[in-house]
Each structure stands twice: as C-alpha cells, then as structure tokens.
Chain A
Amino acid sequence: MASPADATASNDSTPVRPERRGRVRMRRAAVMAVPATALTAALMILTAEGALGVQFAISGMPFVVTADKLEGQGFAQYGSLDEMIPDSPNQGDTGGQVLVVTSVVKNGKLNNLCQSVDLGGIKLVLTAGGGSTPVSVKNLAIDSDEIKGDAAFNNIEIGRDSSTFDKVDQKGPKGVYGQQAEKVVITDLYQHNYAATAAVFKLPDLRMWFGDKGCPQ
C-alpha cells in the first residue's frame, strides 16, 4: 500500500507545499467522461427498447381464455420466459419459470369471451362480449403455453426476428424467433395463459362468478 503522499510523487522531490494543490484537469476528465456518458446512454436506450412486454411476476396459476372469434389488426408472436416470484408455491419443478409464446394484438375484437382460472377445486369464471358488442382490446400482449383454434392470417411473415416487428407497437427480445401478420382471424380460440397485459381492455356484458365448470372448450 502506498502512502497518501505518493500522490504527489509524480512531480519532483521538493517538499509538498500546501499551496500547490491537486486539481481536476478538464481535458483529462473528458477522456473518461465522454465514453462513460456514451456507455450509459447506450444502456438506457437498449433497456428502453427491450423493456416492453410483460414485466411482472406471474402467479404461476394458469388461466384459460376461450372466444368464439378473435379478429385482430396487427398481430405478432414470439417466444419468451415468464418468471414467478421467488419460492412461489405454484412453481412445482419448473424452477419458477414458464416458457411461453407471447401473442400481441394491436387492435382486436373478441366475440363471446370467456376466462376461467382454477383456484383449487372451484373455478373463477368471467364472460364478456356475449351480446351485440364484442370485447375490444388495444395493445394486448398475452403469454400462453398452449393455443388452439382455426386461424387465418393476412400478409404473415414467419421467422422474423422478434426485435424488428413493425405491425405492432411492441418489440420482442433480439435474436428470438417471431412471426407477425397484418390481420388475423381465429375462430374457436382456446388459450392456456400465464399472463396478459393490455393498454385498453373493454368488457361489455361482464359477468364473473365462482363455479364448478370452467370455460367450455
């Protein structure tokens, strides 16, 4: 360990006078300041771009969503990983992580939506959009591990890097398989989901109840 006086050793052997003080040289400081600022800014931009999508801890209790018909303008899908809270009772042997496929719908309408979650013996069921007004969503992102239905896509691009989506507002992680389409129509939709987020989720004719039976498949 060098003694504090070594700081001045670079000068000469004359005794240090208190009047000769060290000082910050601006040019020298800039040598570090410029790359450090650039690095920080780059990190912030990267974070801002990748931070979209589901960012909360999932409960690990899957829920089922069914609908007679889903119509969406702007559609994208990519693979991602959802994480439960640490030591979640629902993690089983998954280590608290669930591999999911994230489906993004920019503007969508759902007829006869039904959602049910198994709370252990009893099920919480929610229905909406059964009447003349369908359920409408904006920027819906839904994380599922199983999807069933009859689907029709317009202008689909399969295999596109999920960070380059332009049909929806959200972007996935870099280097991950993705697919996007201008328009999607899925009939008899069935989804086994772990999480969903939406900017707007309008549910006309909403009903919620506890029952023995979940959504009809």
Chain B
Amino acid sequence: MNRFHEWRGQRPFVGGLLLALGGAEILVTMKAPLPVILHIGMQGLAGYLIPGVMIVCGLLIMFNPAQRLFYSIIGVLLSVGTWLTSNIGGFLIGLVLGVTGSVLAFGWLPDQEPRKKRHQLRRHRDQASPAATP
C-alpha cells in the first residue's frame, strides 16, 4: 500500500485514471456492430478509435508521466471530439471524465512539497492525506 502511495505521488495518477475511464465509458456506450461500422467508413470507425486512443493516453499518462503534457493535450482534444463521433461523448459522462482527467494531468507537477516541510519528513509520513498542503 505504501509503495503504491509512493508510486502515485510520482505521476498524475488521478488525471490519467479519469481519462482512461472516460474513454472506457464511451466505448461501453458504443453499440454499433462491426459490419455497420465498416459500411459507414471512417466516420463510424472514429467512434471507436477516438475513445480507444483516450484510454491509451490515460494509461500512458500513468506509466510514462514524463510525456504527460503531450498525452493530456491529445486527451483533451479527443475527449471534446467524442461529442461528434461517439454518442455525444458517451452521453456527456465520458466527455466530462476525459476533459477533467486531461486537465488534471496537464496541471500536475512533480515534487511539489514546500521546502520548509523537509525537516518534518517523518511526521509527514504519518499524515494520511496525500495532498494535504496547498
């Protein structure tokens, strides 16, 4: 648990998770069968492709946080794009999740503990909340 807590602190975990969940939610709302997709062509394929890339971007934000800016910008554009391609953004839920996740990932910065807190290292470990200090 402690290692997971540590691992989460080194990446925009919540942002990536929300973006991936948003993509997954949109995929769940897509019900068109494959023959219909192929018949419609790129328009229909985009309905699946875009939420798929949203999931990939969300996972990459978590597992390759160094590139989080690029992934979050792609993520926010695709999330907005699902309004047109995939059931008005998975009936809005997936779109909101994706945009929120991308924004959180974009705004995330590593190593944000104020310097004065450094001498309280051990005490801080006892604090349960991960983002206690502003």
Q: How far apart sit A137 and B55, CA to CA, in the bound complex (Å)?
A: 48
Cβ B9 vs Cβ A18 within 8 A: yes
CB contact list, B2-35 vs A, under 8 A? 2, 5-12, 14-15
Cβ A11 vs Cβ B106 within 8 A: no
Query: Is B46 in the interface zone, CB < 8 Å from A?
Result: no
A-B CB pair tally, cutoff 8 Å: 126
CB contact list, A1-57 vs B, under 8 A? 1-2, 4-11, 16-33, 36-37, 39-40, 43-44, 47
Partner of B106, one of A17, A23, A28: A28
Partner of B130, one of A2, A16, A21: A21
Q: Could you mark each residue 89-132 of chain B with 1 if its beta carbon is under 8 Å from any beta carbon of chain A, else 0?
A: 00000010001001110111111110001000100110000110
State how many residues of chain B have any CB contact under 8 Å with chain A: 47
Given contacts A22-B11, A22-B112, A24-B15, contact A1 B64 (CB under 8 A): yes
Q: How far apart sit A44 and B79, CA to CA, in the bound complex (Å)?
A: 13
Cβ A29 vs Cβ B12 within 8 A: no
Given contacts A18-B6, A40-B80, contact A25 B109 (CB under 8 A): yes
A contact residues, range: 35 or more
Residue of B with least CB distance to A37: B99
B residues in contact (CB < 8 Å) with A: 2, 5-12, 14-15, 36, 39-40, 63-68, 72-73, 76, 79-80, 83-84, 88, 95, 99, 102-104, 106-113, 117, 121, 124-125, 130-131
A residues in contact (CB < 8 Å) with B: 1-2, 4-11, 16-33, 36-37, 39-40, 43-44, 47, 86-87
Closest 10 CB pairs of A and B: A29-B107, A21-B9, A6-B66, A7-B65, A23-B112, A22-B110, A28-B107, A2-B66, A20-B113, A18-B6
